[in-house]
Structure 1
């Protein structure tokens, strides 16, 4: 009976460890991306655009975006048309952001600010890759001709790592629970057999 209590206690500890892995507090990390030299070329989603893939961690959640940027729109294209779309590497469920959205002039412009992304529930996939695509909202020039350049500056994403435990860790804990269950059943069967021998 004492063994059964030990095994039961061990089961509770192992289960608690598994639950702790799944619900452990996660820490937000800023990921700053230097966008100097990126060009806005074609419409969003078209071939020929500048596309970057940044490793931010598997299933990471994007909490906020801040920026400090210098842009240059080549006339007759305007600064409000320069944009960047971001999200998972699949290219689906992207958010599109235009730093100079209210600036309808050609030439250079400087922009800074921040945006809360939490209402969008945006995260990257299991590959951990954040996709950035620089594009134009309106095409003024011929296809594949750049209409603007992101001269200097950065986009900084506040990223929260996934709280889901690594598959290997979860598997080890589950394996431990399985072994505890087997040993508990064996101990119980052994106790029943011993009891029958005593009675008989």
Structure 2
């Protein structure tokens, strides 16, 4: 008995898909490249936004961003680049929400992290700065990193951070203040600020 011996399509490597999209701008190619990562992007967005609907919207917004960004920039490692784009998109979204809500720092709040948003024209410069910030965050002591993430990314006050981590409230203030200072030094020493 003979079995059907038709050609089985081999999966196209990501590098070839990226090159094809960059050359021809076929959104179907980009969709095929992006689809396997949609769950990962959703997970990253949910980690930062803490809202299912906002995270689903962010998955689509990240895709829309890729439509233009991948035509302009050559990407060698799609997965890690996509993670950075998703993370930075969420950080920008959180920051924008904070600014548009007219959120003034409460009396127990610190000033902003040592990174400034300029204009939409500087998105890739901003992404570089956010990458540097993320790299520098990883260098902090775990107590400082956890306190800073809860304070800035989840907008928790000192009291809530102390309750969640078990740290003394004075220690939380110290971790944030010293961590912020170390972040600034780290970012400046990397020439990214």
TM (norm. structure 1) is 0.19
Q: Whose helix fraction is larger, Structure 1's or Structure 2's?
A: 2
TM (norm. structure 2) is 0.20
RCO higher in structure (CA 8 A, sep ≥6): 1
Q: Which has the larger radius of gyration?
A: 1
